[in-house]
Structure 1
Amino acid sequence: MIHHVVGLFTHPDQEWQDIRGDREVSLGRLYFTHTLILALVPAIAAFIGTTRTGWVIGERPAVLLSGGDALWMAGMSYLAMLAGVAVMGMFIHWMARTYDAYPSFARCVAFATYTATPLFIGGLAALYPHLWLGMLTGTAAICYTVYLLYVGLPTFMNVARDDGFLFASSVLAVGLVVLVAIMALTVIIWGLGVGPVYVP
């Protein structure tokens, strides 16, 4: 399933057709062959970036994390990404019935994973966690993810373009809610005193 990643960046229209034509896969196989691997990219990059390079904001010295805290944060972000994909898959599966589409839950999770691919790959920017680099890379990754969503959903779900636009807009809105919920949960956890220890 990883072979679809390049196609989503080079010829997304055709690649969505190919993805739709793939035979049904189990949820476990999907997670092990695609989701678990891609979600590792930003987590590993963040661990390396925060322990070796450090956050760079303006002209201030780089701020590093201790190895243990960086590992804990990378692990939690990894789990949050996996949970986010699962939640989006559940919503897509539930919402598809509104548009007379009846994909399996595994296919909905596959769609959520493929759509989020630019976000996973964009996580490589965490190797050098500079504010402007993160903002530019994050903005580009989000824009391309939204593009994949609007281009791919009508094809993948085999619904009319107009219905696909409404469906994709609903998915986008829920995706933003999930993102804000993850950020809010992070703030709450940090507020409980579980925040990281910085290395001078």
Structure 2
Amino acid sequence: MILNHLWGLYAHPKDEWHSIDERHESYVYSLSHIAIISLIPVLMSYYSAAHLGWSIGAGDIIKLTADSAFMMSIGMYFGLMLGVMALAVLIHELAKAFDATPTYTQSLELAAYTATPLFMVGLAAFYPVLWFVMVIGLVGLTYSIYLLYAGTPILMHIPEGKGFIYASSVVTCGLVLLAILMAASVILWSMGLGPVYTG
């Protein structure tokens, strides 16, 4: 089953990382996990933007047209997929500096399962109030970082001390990657591909 590690990552993360390490899945399996889990924030964002509307504060509810929300969701889906794959490349390349020799599939597993709690935050869009989604997002981000720190020494087969520094480097690179994706979004919006709001 594609999502068979999902519960374990929440209930007993270190044991689950050992389980993932013992029976590495294929590249296609890891990619399928990302493809399915990425649908959660995408579908929820579409529904909340086009049908529920977002509450930013004391002002009016903000809604997008269905076509605009659909196009934004498509862009978000591919952005999430590419972001996780790029993070896997960074994990793979950084491994050389820490005397680790993972395959690209192992790096993709670490990136995919680490990103899972962050993508699950998409369920918070059922209540599309900015402060609520941001609080839940912070919880998801914190748990994703915890999973990265817990899983890096296990999947990369390196001591915990070295794994901590390795994971910290990955977090730093991930933040740079996030800034690049945000900058790309701003550029696309300025080219006329931004959201279209309902009247």
Category of TM-score, reference length = shorter chain: over 0.9
SS state at 1:50 partner: helix
Distance 2:114 2:194 in 1: 31
Distance 1:169 1:57 in 2: 33
Map 1:67-78 to 2 at 5 A: 67-78=66-77
Distance 1:74 1:23 in 2: 31
Distance 2:172 2:192 in 1: 31
User: Which letter maps to 2:177?
Assistant: V
- After TM superposition, the score normalised by the length of structure 2 is 0.96
User: Which letter maps to 2:84?
Assistant: V
Distance 1:23 1:197 in 2: 44
Provide the residue aligned with 1:98 in structure 2.
Answer: 97
Distance 2:67 2:189 in 1: 16
Provide the residue aligned with 2:6 in structure 1.
Answer: 5
User: Which letter maps to 1:170?
Assistant: S
SS state at 1:64 partner: coil
Distance 2:38 2:156 in 1: 24
Provide the residue aligned with 1:28 in structure 2.
Answer: 28
Distance 1:18 1:136 in 2: 31
| 1:30 positional shift | 2.2
Provide the residue aligned with 1:163 in structure 2.
Answer: 162
Distance 1:95 1:89 in 2: 10
Distance 2:28 2:80 in 1: 16
SS state at 2:3 partner: coil
| 1:189 positional shift | 1.0
| 1:156 positional shift | 1.3
Residue 81 (structure 2) pairs with residue 82 (structure 1): yes
Aligned structure 1 segments of 4 or more residues deviating by more than 3 angstroms: none
Contact 1:119 1:138 (C-alpha < 8 Å) held by counterparts: yes
| 1:128 positional shift | 2.6
Q: What stretches of structure 1 of length at least 5 have no aligned partner?
A: none
Q: Percent identity?
A: 38
